Amino acid sequence: MNSRPETGKTLLSAEEIADLPRAGLWRRIAALLYDMFLVAAIWMSLGFVLQLLFGPGTSELVEGEVQTDPVVSRVMLFMMVTSAAAFYIGFWRKTGQTLGMIAWRIRVLGTDNRPLDVKAGLSRFFLAWPAFWLLGLGYLWMYVDPQRDAAHERLSGSKTVLLPKHARPF
């Protein structure tokens, strides 16, 4: 264990990382909720940029429903998906943790205990959506899986571990 004298926090050794337990469901959900606010702020900023580019006249109220230009809708959907993917995959590749994961002391790693590569990150990101939206069944798989991995983790070759209190985030 390597210690930093100025903080008292430690870096984890490879052996310690390999022995870390899987994170529980409620910690994962709490981290997702925390990160949801960050991603929503990114999406609001992107929406503002789209309003500057296309102008405010791209939506209108028709019989009580907001009708948006189909091109703008598709551009916004593309921007939302790619920005969310970049947010998660960027953090997973660099430190294994988003801000919400740091707050809840969890980290995403490959099954080889290394940071995720782009392929594994993309796979994890896009498989997590149906795991969540299909009544959370992909996450509930944790209670059946012998290693306590969610379905999207098992399929993407990743895992979410619980960090000890003494470990520093990066």
Mean of per-residue pLDDT scores for the chain: 90
- Per-residue pLDDT, 91: 97
d(CA 12, CA 75): 42
pLDDT, tens digit, 9 for 90 and up, residues 79-111: 999 999 999 999 999 999 999 999 999 999 999
CA atoms within 13 A on the CB side of 20: 28
End-to-end Cα separation, the chain, in angstroms: 14
Cβ distance 38 to 100 under 8 Å? yes
- Per-residue pLDDT, 57: 79
Res. 4 pLDDT band, cuts 50 70 90? very low
User: Which of the pair, 52 or 170, is modelled with greater confidence?
Assistant: 52
pTM: 0.86
Residue 30 CA to chain centroid, in angstroms? 11
H or E element at residue 136 = none
- For residue 106, which of 33, 54, 167 has the smallest C-alpha distance? 167
pLDDT, tens digit, 9 for 90 and up, residues 145-154: 999 999 999 9
- Per-residue pLDDT, 67: 86
